[in-house]
């Protein structure tokens, strides 16, 4: 099959022929319908420092963990529940299914987890990919593959907003208007925040959040962010989300927060950072870290998409096919106004 393969860290992906995936007993093979490009992949594809990030990519690996597609092959022990032709999305790992973490829907903590974008489990920047039947969720008929491929990033935002213990009527400040910040804005709206202020250093990036749930935007390059946020929201935000995830961004949200505020860190900072804990301590801030999602979050997001209760239209800013994919992937490493660039295959 054809796949976008890492040739060498720091060089563009190349479309190569690699072996077709084979299903294990409890696996399914999908024909990929759509797969979104994630910032994590952009970062990992060029990171040469083993002390940065949480794992290194290797030449020959295929990334892509935000996908949906059609079942083509079904492993022998999965035949009771799955058939060729089923339309699905799946979590990006395969767990053992037996351990307490897997039982709790937290397969990424399984001691025997197989992570995607490893030699054992190529990702979905490819024509086909292998998924675990246990990690697979059926898509309702009206949910497109494109929407199915958005379930993963939507679940990231969903989990982050759950970590915020959001209350109806809350004022929130979202720092960073990348795809993570935008899905967080969507869910804050969905769960009843009253004022959703999004700040970004690039006003045109913040602007996009207005179509996805933000009630006001802030140009972080001009003027005092907490002051602007309080003006826009009629008072200081109770929750501040760090959706940037670079060294210094956690300190920034600590500085922005008022006493007793809650901070949720969801941007993935892949390098060492240092901060001034006393600044958080004297404000008695509650700081939570949000990592991926529970398996049931996937199912909830799929259900809500099926009912038409969330509009994901504004999240996808470009569609590309496999031939155009390596260039589209490289382009995202430069400053741009894309949100989700979606690989679509047919
Ligand atoms: Zn992702
Ligand atoms: Zn397990």
Q: How far apart are CA 309 and CA 64, in angstroms?
A: 26
Q: How far is CA 164 from CA 156, 167, 191, 200, in A?
A: 13, 9, 11, 20
Asked if pLDDT for residue 133 goes beyond 90, the answer is yes
Nearest-angstrom CA–CA distance, 171 and 233: 6
- For 90, the token pair is 């799946």
Give me the phi and psi of 337, to 5 degrees please: -110, 20
User: How far, in Å, CA of 207 to CA of 209, rounded?
Assistant: 5
* pLDDT tens for each residue of 289-311: 999 999 999 999 999 999 999 99
pLDDT at 51 over 80: no
pLDDT mean across residues, the chain:
96
The burial of 260, by beta-carbon neighbours within 10 Å (0-12 exposed, 13-18 middle, 19 or more buried), is given as exposed
Long-range contacts of range 102-108, CB-CB < 8 Å, 24 or more positions apart?
Answer: 102/134, 104/294, 105/294, 105/295, 105/296, 106/294, 106/295, 107/134, 107/135, 107/295, 108/291, 108/292
Give residue 50's pLDDT.
76
pLDDT in tens, 95-119: 999 999 999 999 999 999 999 999 9
- Which ligand is closest in space to the CA of residue 150? 1
Separation of alpha carbons 342 and 334, rounded Å? 17
Closest ligand by atom to 180 CA: 1
pLDDT at 130 over 70: yes
CA 230 to ligand 1 center in whole angstroms:
31
Task: Report the DSSP beta bridge partners of residue 95.
Answer: none
Q: Six-digit token pair at 138?
A: 């059926």
The neighbourhood of ligand 1, an ion, using CB within 5 A, equals 38
Task: Map residue 157 onto helix, strand or coil.
Answer: helix
Separation of alpha carbons 78 and 81, rounded Å: 6
Q: In the prediction, which pLDDT does 53 show? A: 67
Report pLDDT digits (tens) over 142-195: 999 999 999 999 999 999 999 999 999 999 999 999 999 999 999 999 999 999
pLDDT tens-digit series, residues 8-49: 988 999 999 999 999 999 999 999 999 999 998 998 888 887
- The bound ligand whose nearest atom lies closest to the alpha carbon of 102 is 2
Structural domains in the chain plus CATH codes:
2-150+312-344 (3.90.180.10), 157-289 (3.40.50.720)
Q: 258 C-alpha vs ligand 1 centroid, how far in Å?
A: 30
Spacing, Cα 266 to ligand 2 middle (Å): 24
Matching residue, tokens 């210094």:
248
User: pTM for the complete prediction?
Assistant: 0.96
| Nearest by Cα to 304 from 196, 155, 179 | 155
* pLDDT for the residue 12: 96
pLDDT score of 319:
97
Q: Which ligand is nearest to the CA of 108?
A: 2
**Among the bound ligands, the one closest to the CA of 154:** 1
Q: Does the CA dihedral 302-304-306-312 come out positive or negative?
A: negative
């Amino acid at each position: 099959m054809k796949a976008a393969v890492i040739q060498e860290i720091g060089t563009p992906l190349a479309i190569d022929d690699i072996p077709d995936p084979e299903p294990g007993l409890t696996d399914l093979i999908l024909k990929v319908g759509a797969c979104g490009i994630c910032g994590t992949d952009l970062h990992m594809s060029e990171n040469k420092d083993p002390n940065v990030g949480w794992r290194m990519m290797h030449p020959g690996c295929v990334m892509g963990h935000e996908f949906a597609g059609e079942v083509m092959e079904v492993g022998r022990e999965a035949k009771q529940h799955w058939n060729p032709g089923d339309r699905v999305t799946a979590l990006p790992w395969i767990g053992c299914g037996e351990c307490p973490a897997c039982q709790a829907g937290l397969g990424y903590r399984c001691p025997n987890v197989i992570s995607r974008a490893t030699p054992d489990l190529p990702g979905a920047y490819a024509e086909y990919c292998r998924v675990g039947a246990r990690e697979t969720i059926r898509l309702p008929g009206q949910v497109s593959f494109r929407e199915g491929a958005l379930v993963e990033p939507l679940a990231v935002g969903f989990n982050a907003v759950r970590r915020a213990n959001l209350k109806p009527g809350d004022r929130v400040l979202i720092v960073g208007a990348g795809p993570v910040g935008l899905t967080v804005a969507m869910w804050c709206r969905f769960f009843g925040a009253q004022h959703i202020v999004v700040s970004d250093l690039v006003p045109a990036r913040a602007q996009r959040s207005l179509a996805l749930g933000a009630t006001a935007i802030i140009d972080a390059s001009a003027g005092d962010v907490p002051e602007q946020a309080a003006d826009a929201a009629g008072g200081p935000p109770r929750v501040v989300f760090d959706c940037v995830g670079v060294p210094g961004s956690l300190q920034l949200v600590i500085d922005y927060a008022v006493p007793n505020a809650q901070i949720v860190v969801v941007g993935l900072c892949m390098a060492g950072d240092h901060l001034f804990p006393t600044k958080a301590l004297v404000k008695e801030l509650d700081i939570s870290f949000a990592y991926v999602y529970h398996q049931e979050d996937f199912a909830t997001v799929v259900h809500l998409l099926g009912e038409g209760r969330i509009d994901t239209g504004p999240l996808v800013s470009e569609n590309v096919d496999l031939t155009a994919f390596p260039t589209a992937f490289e382009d995202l490493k430069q400053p741009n106004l894309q949100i989700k660039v979606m690989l679509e295959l047919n």
